[in-house]
Structure formats: structure tokens, C-alpha cells
Structure 1
């Protein structure tokens, strides 16, 4: 495993001024994943943006973990619906383009 993409969880806690228990709670809810190397705990760099989003929800907006879970669920549903709409629009464009060329 390449360690250059891993950030120690304690460094994240110090940087963001959060408790390690908050990271553990996020992991328990399945929002982020930590990596254990020996006795140390790390987050992948890709997880930092997600961590920041949940830090804002919890610490700045004072939303508890159950609220974060509900919000995250709804945001995922909205994103899935946007993806489906984009897919359906592209399929519709194929039919509209075909119909347009058939009428020429």
C-alpha cells in the first residue's frame, strides 16, 4: 500500500480541531473509511473533502449524526435523480435527432 495518499487521523483532528471520536462516528455510519497501518489510523486524501463536508454540517450547523445521515441520504437521492435525468435526456436527444433526420 502506498502511504503517500494517507493522512494520519490525528493530524486531521489537529488541523480541523475535531475529536477522533467524530471520525470514528463518521466511519460507523459508513460516511468515510479509515485505514489502519499497524497501530495508527489514517484517512485517504480522497476522504478529506467528504470529511470537511461533515465537519461543516456537525460543527458549524450543529447537526447531529442522525441529521447528517438523513441529509446525506437525501443528497445522494438528488444526485442519483440528476444522473438519471441526464441519462434520459441523452437518450431523448438520440430519438429527437433521429426523428429530425428522418423528416428531412
Structure 2
């Protein structure tokens, strides 16, 4: 447990905003929190994308005296792997 003691400050002394911002520590009695310096995580994510595509374009096969036969083939594949792990309020690991 960490303790902060200010011994050289008179009881009647008031600290301004700048002086208070330099003070670290305190009691978490009224506002309990987690000590994030001792927070340890272990996680494993598994990602797998398996795609296959077979595209054939037979244009005018076994057609005699054919003309003006056109064919437009535009195959496209797209894949994304995204892992989002939410480990509590304010913590997110990607």
C-alpha cells in the first residue's frame, strides 16, 4: 500500500490549483478505484480467413459464324479480420 504524508504544511495553509495538481496519491475511501499499475492481461485471439474463387469465361465456344459476342467479368474478393477485446471501463485492446 502506498502512503502520502505531507508533514511540513501548516493546517491553516490553503493550496491553490497549481499546488494541488502537484500532489499525488491520497485515499480511495470515497472513490475506490483499481490500481492499474498491477493490472495484468493475457489474451489470445484466433483469426482465420479462407477464400477461394474459380472464375471461368467461355465466350463463343462451339458457335459458328458468331460475331459481336462480348463478356465482362470482374471478380472481386474482400476480407477483414478485426478483434476487439473489452476488458472493462476505459480499457480496449485491438
* Structure-2-length-normalised TM-score: 0.19
- Name which one, 1 or 2, has greater alpha-carbon Rg: 2
Choose between structure 1 and 2: higher strand proportion.
Answer: 1
State the TM-score, normalized to the length of structure 1.
0.18
